[in-house]
Chains A and B, each alone.
Chain A
């Protein structure tokens, strides 16, 4: 009985849907790039079919399929397929200065908001109640919104530290609106920071239909191929969640692309700590890999104009890519790019637009295999080379900025425009260009760990208890997301002291992660088409 040791990673990007098959040693044994389709699902199916066709009978050894997708982001940005949400905030009279969804783009608010209630409830930082839970008020509100709300979002002040009230309200909601109404609870979605967490919770609730569609799309694609594989979704911090978890927390899939790209680049190059640059047609995106995980941004992130406090990879995006147009009169790169039309428009491809790809070809003939530049006059050639120097300078200073002064980190270069990065970069110990760097993001999805996170506020004196409590919860969540209970571990503990508290107080944020529970070959054949999800035990 051989181990079913193949994983499929699929990454849905704006232009391409990439897929890879990885063996147990992390080798890429098949890969493809397909066009992303408008319905997204078509691209996923095409990519999955293409890599499975490549591996022949070994398709039976595929035990996992991991998907990183832009479904949720698209739905929010395009305001499509969003549900109407009844929002219940617990904490009145506190926070009444800031009504729910304040600061949202008006049309998005109008699309999503079925109604909101600022109800009594919530806690002070030390757990003392702000006011008692206004059960009657919540009941009345639910009665008013029966039939008009598709989903409910609940957000209580300091609920990440004291979640009981949100759970109580969730039961109230189900009693009133039926057991099938989707309910999003803020303590399960985000960290401290009321408005940002509430925004994320409301978006999550609004995405319930998208969540259903995307999880079904993956399950159908997998079932259509008759794969006996578990399915996972990549989330914003570079870890995976089981499909049933993704169905409940679709908002967590947002931002998984850059995280996958960083981890994939790391795996392909073998680095555990590195700076990663993904050079595309329009931008170069830089990230940092710290002990196997993407370094996270400390700044608030906006999704479709809505401020959230998700932990996203710390990405520095430069307007420098293979398709970046060069101003030949001044010898500088412009902010515009020919984007995916590069294979028609660049000089080296017989087009009429000077791009950074042409600049690289001018500096080092042969950089684009099988292509050479038409003969250029001296001024044009000079301008191209000057522009390339400026672009490389920008990349170099971005690397320096991301490295935080450490010069012993290697730079891993992936993406189609990797030739823009010189072989020596000040600020990096080495420049690595792994094979298959063009599908690093799909590789990242295929190798992602299952993870969970939890926040806890506690007395400084009980510091260890606070860390313990948060760790336990984070580990529980990682296992829920599919991690193997035997190998899951705490990978990050962040402590923040809180001033003006009754006693010295500490905020602890813990992240746990681990490899997915391993699956041995079963003797039962692959089931017929079925949409149900499977466990991971």
Chain B
């Protein structure tokens, strides 16, 4: 792993492309495409100026942080794009509830488009972005979030649509929130944004995964500047390159808002003769070789283009692509009993025992 640099203080327009590239890597195949959102965040920073990136340790007694994320169907998301007033309406409602100003926003998940868009919203709102997120990757359900692992409840959630409708949800738990948020999203025309989990200087430490915005930008910068992208990504992420090969089979189907399926990769070059299967439910979840599980969720699995090192999201996987599969360890929080209960193999319906992934390269380090 590269030496950890000083955390960023300010996110400028030039940081958006690396952030998007890095967020795609942490998206582990899901989290939504980053291109359109990159465009809106760049436009937003051009209009409103750079965004302050705040560390958890910098939170003061007056700070109020709220999570922001988008929810919805990607096929609708490319057509019905967001409204600039949408996030303002949402935050105004949050402030009415908490009776003080929101001073920073945080990404629910750093992986995919949801890791990028909060920066644009922060620019437009004139608030900071917390250098942290709730997953350290992408997950498909709102229950799969670090605050839930830490036992922190979200007392309310606010949802908003493109025309300005706002709904305040007070649900018994995250599972109910997931259900009601989906219903709202359907009524909103298939896409909405939501704010939940109010965090403060007291509650945030230990309940969020810190430093992930800086990490995503670092990873993206290294990727975009690299001449040997796969090796550099492996080094940057402390990941193993499980296989270098080509996609020889893809199975995909959409059910209940999830894309399920698998992709089979045949080794080429030094990996000739090997065959790996990656199981997918929105994100890449399990890697199997010779009937044996090599890596499984919550550890991270990303399929990258062998030539460019760019992460390939599930919907863009295609037969014949030359790809490399990278795997690396998740945040320790997900390896706790509660973490695995919420986002381990069981939570996705896999009947398998989770074995923490240890990169082969770690022994050498």
Contact = CB atoms under 8 A, between A and B. Distances in A.
Binding between chains A and B: yes
A278 to B, nearest CB: 19
A499 B83 CA distance: 21
Nearest to A307: B35
A125 B39 contact: no
A97 B79 contact: no
Contact of A500 (B120, B162, B190, B316): B190
A46 B40 CA distance: 48
A131 B164 CA distance: 11
Nearest to A298: B318
Interface in B296-337: 316, 318-322
B163 A93 contact: yes
B189 interface: yes
A102 B80 contact: no
Contacts of A192: 75, 78-79
B320 A93 contact: no
B248 to A, nearest CB: 6
A91 B84 CA distance: 13
Contacts of B188: 124
A193 interface: yes
Contact of B39 (A103, A401, A403, A496): A103
A95 B83 contact: yes
Contacts of B79: 125, 157-158, 192-194
Interface string A78-113: 000000000000011111111100110000000000
A502 interface: yes
Interface string A18-34: 00000000000000000
B80 A499 contact: no
Nearest to B47: A99
Contacts of B40: 97-98, 102
B347 interface: no
Given A95-B82, A95-B83, A498 B76 contact: yes
B13 interface: no
Interface stretch (B2-10, B52-60, B179-187, B273-281): B179-187
B186 A401 contact: no
Interface string A252-280: 00000000000000000000000000000
A131 B318 CA distance: 38
Nearest to B185: A500
A196 B191 CA distance: 19
Nearest to B82: A97
Contact of B254 (A158, A195, A499): A499
Interface in B70-100: 71-73, 75-76, 78-86
Contacts of B226: none
Nearest to A92: B83
Given A499-B73, A499-B257, A500-B73, A403 B80 contact: no
A497 B254 contact: yes
Interface residues of B, number: 45
A405 interface: yes
B81 A194 contact: yes
Contacts of A450: none
A418 B32 CA distance: 42
A299 B313 CA distance: 12
Contacts of B80: 91, 94-95, 122, 124-125, 130, 157-158, 194
A500 B258 CA distance: 10
Given A94-B163, A498-B76, A499-B257, A128 B81 contact: no
B246 A401 contact: yes
A195 B189 contact: no
A512 B220 CA distance: 43
Interface of B: 35-36, 39-40, 43-44, 71-73, 75-76, 78-86, 120, 162-164, 182, 185-191, 246, 248-249, 254, 256-258, 316, 318-322
A-B CB proximity, top 5 nearest: A124-B189, A94-B162, A499-B257, A95-B81, A401-B320
20 contacts: A93-B86, A95-B83, A97-B120, A98-B40, A98-B81, A102-B43, A124-B80, A125-B190, A130-B80, A157-B79, A158-B80, A192-B75, A194-B79, A196-B78, A404-B319, A404-B320, A405-B320, A496-B75, A500-B186, A500-B190
Interface of A: 91-99, 102-103, 122, 124-126, 128, 130-131, 157-158, 192-196, 298-300, 400-405, 496-502, 507
Given A96-B82, A405-B249, A499-B256, 17 more contacts: A93-B83, A93-B163, A95-B82, A97-B83, A125-B189, A125-B190, A130-B189, A157-B81, A192-B78, A192-B79, A193-B79, A194-B78, A298-B316, A405-B320, A500-B72, A500-B182, A500-B186
